[in-house]
Chain A
Amino acid sequence: MTALVAVDHVTRRYGDVVALDDVSLTVGPGELVGLLGPNGAGKSTLLSLVSGLRRPDAGTVRLAGRDPRDPAARVRLGTTPQETGLPGTLRVGEVVDLVAGHYPDPMSRGEVLERFGLTDLARRQTGGLSGGQRRRLAVALSLVGRPQVVLLDEPTTGLDVEARHVLWQALRDYQADGATVLVTSHYLEEIEALARRVVVIGSGRVLADDDLDAVLAMAAARRVLVEVAEADRPALAALPGVLDVRADGRRSVLLAADADAVVRSLVRSDLPFRDLEVRGASLEEAFLALTATTPGEPR
């Protein structure tokens, strides 16, 4: 089976900042891949390489076997514009036609608008649309050319729950025909809705690449806050199940996949402690925990 997207040992810098550090990723036909990671992790840079907007400093990027900077490769690609950037004077139907005119076998204007509930807005200038309507149009544009590979960068950021679910359904309908989708988000919920395989990116590296359930388990990490004597702090890190330890004032913060197990072993270890507290960890913290350990190892 040939890979539709092949990123091979790619490094990309902006001046002194390394946005992607030796990243490799292969996506086959029909895969639904979520790119998860905090802001600035390198997700958007990765998408801009796959869509041919930028070229890597080292390594190669292939789209359907070709360099994505070659327009012929991009016949198979669909991406979304930022909703704020739609040409304000063009009508909704005209923007669809403009995009459709680039592809050999595009969807009809009617079909695109129907899929995204935009039929009534066809004659409206995009400048007069609400934020949610613009977002829908932006996502609709990614499918106009019936692409085999769809790149979605934060497709529903800023939408209300209702609108978000409508968009997800439209995307899932398209996926059902066998398209490959790469979606970035820093919302776990969005990744859950659209992806089957999840790639976690942090500080420009692939930290985890696994199926959805495995990554969900990682993201369910909890924080255990506890105060121990200065000298006992290293012992905390050695407790089984602890992913990461950080100091927070007098207390130490332990990150753990299974907080109950950590508390149990803390008690059993007979370390003198006080002020114990267990809290949920944010997705961001789960990523930090992943960053702190060897890539691919935690689970």
Chain B
Amino acid sequence: MLLATRSASLEPAIVRAVGLEVAEDLEQVVVLVPEQLAGETIENLRASSRVAITMARTYDHRTFQLKADCLDVSLAGEAHRALAEGYRSAFAGQLEMVGIPRRITTRVRVWPCLALRLRVTDVFAQTPGPGAGERWHPFSDALEAGRGTRETLG
């Protein structure tokens, strides 16, 4: 799961996110970004609150992109730690399929994290092929499509 922001001079930046939690209202999400990697992202969020997040499932390339406004950033609490560690575990499983052993992927830093609270404005299909780039309405459709597999989207 990769999160993109942009600077005041419109230069894009990428950071790997390590967890996504959907709020009850299905309009907001919390995305976790390792604090140590988040410097450029935070600086960019001062210039613009707009973010893009892409997430894909390795074995069938099923891919979505969210567009959102960042509402606020805080230090993630312990309640989110299991989410980040669960992501790392699922991510390691996906990467094992392309030959990267768990002894490497389990060393990926996922904590401490910043929690970015986002209001999702759009969801786009990004699975390669016809329909890539189509807008999904509403957000809950995308969640329904990804239900049960959401936690394994890399």
* A complexed with B: no
Residues of A within 8 A of B (CB): none
